[in-house]
Amino acid sequence: MVTKMVRKLSEHTNLGLLAVTVGLFTVMSIGYSHFFTLYNMEVIAMGFIQEAIMALGMTIVIISGGIDLSIGSVLVLSSILVGLFLKADLGVALSIFLTLCISGSIGFANAVMINRLRAHPFIVTLGTMTAVRGFALVITEGHPVTGFPKSFSYFGQGYLLNIPFPVVLFIILAIVFHILLRHTKYFSQVYFIGSNPGAARLCGMNVERFRWMTYIISATLAGTAGIITASQYISANASFGIDAELRVITAVIIGGASLSGGIGSIGRTVLGVIFLAIVANAMVQAGVPTYWEKVAYGSMLVISVVLEQYFRFRRTGIKDNWRDFMLGGN
């Protein structure tokens, strides 16, 4: 019975990461009296909520065999656009709708360029990342956008059932995408497409059209994160979202997704997000300078990729693969 439960849990969760997360949480709770409090739990959740929302879309993209480096820039642009729409008196609902439409169109543009140009997603989204952030600077001239209506603050600062609204939104989105990936025929094909796109095409799957969907979802969720950011700060600035894509990709890879595609789950990504959120808060509690966060995130990403490659080579049963990987294939 216990073995069956462990096997079932391991299908959706990285058990090693779960053990490390529980261990870190326990150590911090014992060592710092203010760590395990309702206030700090809210700080942990809200401190990483934008990355958490974007990680859901990134999970689908990575499972499909792609990557999206433009999400941080989309977050910035969406926070600015919703602010400009609000200042133009378009109303909260219409401003949010237009912002999400524009955000989604950036994802669609990424997919079109990847499909039509046959370019690597890394190169395409790197270019989009630079162009979109540059456009955000152009339309603001480097100045913050302020003067939002008070009602708009609910999306980033409001509570639903005594839980911060952004956290409730994330939980709902995580459940929805988990169900879609695990229990719907259309979305579950992402695993086949990510593992072998050529075979997927031979089976009649429209890989290019599915890619549109993955990048539109990723960009739309990045736009959602940008709207929440603008609502939290009641302002928008082109400096928002710096290195957000690094933190998001780190969370997804640490959660067990493979950059080679075909492997990953929403449950594992959520665990990766929780782990990084606890690490970030633990560094603050311990008084570690903030610039060490980049060192920590970058190191964890590299270690996760190396371990993922190692275990993948172990699964293939080809003994020379790991040596070739370490020596650069020469």
- Using DSSP's 3-state secondary structure scheme, residue 160 falls into strand
Look up residue 132 and give its amino acid. Answer: V
CA–CA gap between residue 190 and residue 180 (Å, rounded): 11
CA–CA gap between residue 55 and residue 53 (Å, rounded): 5
DSSP 90-122: --HHHHHHHHHHHHHHHHHHHHHHHHHH---HH
- pLDDT for the residue 8: 52
CA–CA gap between residue 112 and residue 115 (Å, rounded): 5
- pLDDT for the residue 225: 96
Q: What is the pTM of this model?
A: 0.88
- Using DSSP's 3-state secondary structure scheme, residue 196 falls into coil
Token representation of residue 271: 């665990």
Strands 159-160 and 163-164, bridge-based pairing: antiparallel
Which single residue is written with the structure tokens 């290019």?
Answer: 208
Low-confidence stretches of the chain (pLDDT < 70) are 1-14, 307-330
CA–CA gap between residue 224 and residue 75 (Å, rounded): 8
- pLDDT for the residue 330: 45
- pLDDT for the residue 216: 96
pLDDT digits (tens, 9 = 90+) for 144-171: 888 888 889 999 999 998 999 999 999 9
